[in-house]
Structure 1
């Protein structure tokens, strides 16, 4: 490292620890936000969701089904209703998240092998809870109905194996991979932290160069960098990257293990793609700071650029389902390739060779952003401009 770059880096660290605009956004807010996010999803996954039973069968079989439903993780029977209107009123008021209707003469129809229609009501405005309710309810009801048929055939003297083959001719096995319990904390918290880190890093770094003129310290930066914009930009970038690493260590090795049941986010693969994300954000922020001298305008540009990142990244909705122009817009944000790499490295536990394209995409922001920032800021560091400032 050149002495001038090191000197600028140390100087920038002092500024980060001195100016509230820096240390609040970069050292205080990231751990606080992580605590808030981890606390919101502290229950990890949706369970014991309130469900109503509309039992018109009122039979031993319907009571057995109700008992089996209560044993699942997601279903908790809290209400008994006696009409569809009462059921819908409870769904509208939020008293229950779903309901199950057992029709009249259900036992007779099952035993006579006539079709029986058990209705599952779910409130799909709550998408994940609705899916969980349907999954558990369907699994219980199909298994229980097959069990009733199996018992009837065995009682007639049919061998158990043949009866099983007749009742369930196709055995279905399902494997839910990479987040089988729909764990909110495991899935959402790391992604939301990455979004917050991107926004804060770009917003703060967007003030890295133009704030020197605001504070009247441009001449000091000129002396520390030997009048070289490359020394100034590289030194400041390394300082911000060091802060990002510190936040990453605090979040992954201290806060998240304490408030997420001992889980750790740290791995060298994840650390690598996080570093590339932060370098990309720093490069974008430096470019914005070099282009826009007005601090308010630079902040507005940063907000406009980073605000839709989570929506467009594909974290909650696949990008291939978006219009083509939204897909292109998503590709000019560092979070987009990071999310693709994050799914592979964090959830699927794949080595870095599977995310080479995503890493190259993030590196492209640095390759483009830093040179542009250096070229533009060199004009600001001209001796005449510095003396005038």
Structure 2
């Protein structure tokens, strides 16, 4: 039986080699996409967001605020406007994403003991930009505000320590876990690249069965295995999985290191986990291939299944915050479980024991997919009047 499987493997390799589309899909396409996504986020965090200033006060205080804004890596002052109306016009022209308005009475109100307002304008049409501006802008205003209070308390006769205790009665110690630099490349790229890998795997699996059940090569392989379907599927799967394993090694061994994406867990365990996932994805593609005779329709169904997978993975929006029906749908997609386990490995450096739930569910997906594929092929063989061994 091993020799028969190896013969099927060799024939499948030849079919892959003779298909330019498959060769491109398995070799150049993943590398191109991996690089494109990684290069987009190579700066890791958003820097130099264009902002404008309206300084009606023109005091030492407003100049101090401007210096803080200029020194912030996330912001870049591109214009000084004369009024709030001109500032808003800059937003409409798309030249800025943030702005600061310092009223004429800013310094005088503070000196006289009154409260004054600094207005911060933020373009929230892009949440990544708006969150960065809000976070850094708020820090700057709080820092300057604390400096004003500190100076006031010290002038009232308090010592520096007493003044500091009044300005900051609570000492906050922040301990950011797993992605301390808030890097988008660490956050997004592993999820995006593995999603692309899953897409390539399923697209490669879809044409393996389809109409080929009625062809001579498939029937010959079936005769060679004495009617057993599982060895045929194994023989046809091995060449494809070897190509996908090569892409995993490129991703983990070249792409991730090139863009400083650190895998905190064991590299071997991570590669094995990725290989197990592509095997599960491949089995799902085989199932679609066996259920749908037309290759075009099977490809469309695969794309329909793949489209919501990234959204429902929980990477861009937390799964627990989604409506109940969407949480249910997310649990029907293998990528949801894979990504949960993958984050535990590469980012959180957890032991494999913490992935037992994800591994169990993925194993169920794998077993169901192959079982349905075998049952579907049996039914189609009967419909086509092709004999096979009922024992397999």
TM normalised by structure 1 equals 0.91
Q: How has the CA–CA distance of structure 1 residues 223 and 11 changed in structure 2, closer, same or farther, with 3 Å as cutoff?
A: farther
- For the 8 Å contact 1:202–1:285, the answer to whether it is kept is yes
Aligned to 1:75: 75
Aligned to 1:354: 354
3-state secondary structure, aligned to 2:310: helix
Matches within 5 A, 1:1-389: 2-210=2-210, 212-213=212-213, 216-258=216-258, 260-261=259-260, 267-380=267-380, 385=386
> How many residue pairs are counted as aligned between the two chains?
386
Q: How has the CA–CA distance of structure 1 residues 263 and 175 changed in structure 2, closer, same or farther, with 3 Å as cutoff?
A: closer
- For the 8 Å contact 2:263–2:346, the answer to whether it is kept is no
Runs of 4+ in 1 over 4 A off after TM superposition: 213-216, 261-266, 379-384
- For the 8 Å contact 2:341–2:355, the answer to whether it is kept is yes
Q: Distance in 2 between matches of 1:15 and 1:226?
A: 23
Report the alpha carbon displacement of residue 274 of structure 1 after superposing the two structures with TM: 1.5
- For the 8 Å contact 1:222–1:386, the answer to whether it is kept is no
Q: How has the CA–CA distance of structure 1 residues 214 and 62 changed in structure 2, closer, same or farther, with 3 Å as cutoff?
A: farther
Report the alpha carbon displacement of residue 10 of structure 1 after superposing the two structures with TM: 3.3
- For the 8 Å contact 1:227–1:381, the answer to whether it is kept is no
Structure 1 residue ranges without an equivalent (≥5): none
Stretch moving more, 98-107 or 359-368: 98-107
Q: How has the CA–CA distance of structure 1 residues 215 and 83 changed in structure 2, closer, same or farther, with 3 Å as cutoff?
A: farther
Q: CA RMSD in A?
A: 2.4
3-state secondary structure, aligned to 2:79: strand
Deviation sequence 1:178-213 (CA, Å, 0-9, x none): 333332222212211111111221122111112535
Q: Distance in 2 between matches of 1:61 and 1:119?
A: 15
Q: Distance in 2 between matches of 1:83 and 1:156?
A: 36
Structure 2 residue ranges without an equivalent (≥5): none
3-state secondary structure, aligned to 1:385: coil
- For the 8 Å contact 2:263–2:345, the answer to whether it is kept is no
TM normalised by structure 2 equals 0.91
Q: How has the CA–CA distance of structure 1 residues 9 and 313 changed in structure 2, closer, same or farther, with 3 Å as cutoff?
A: same
3-state secondary structure, aligned to 1:309: coil
3-state secondary structure, aligned to 1:293: coil
- For the 8 Å contact 1:41–1:185, the answer to whether it is kept is yes
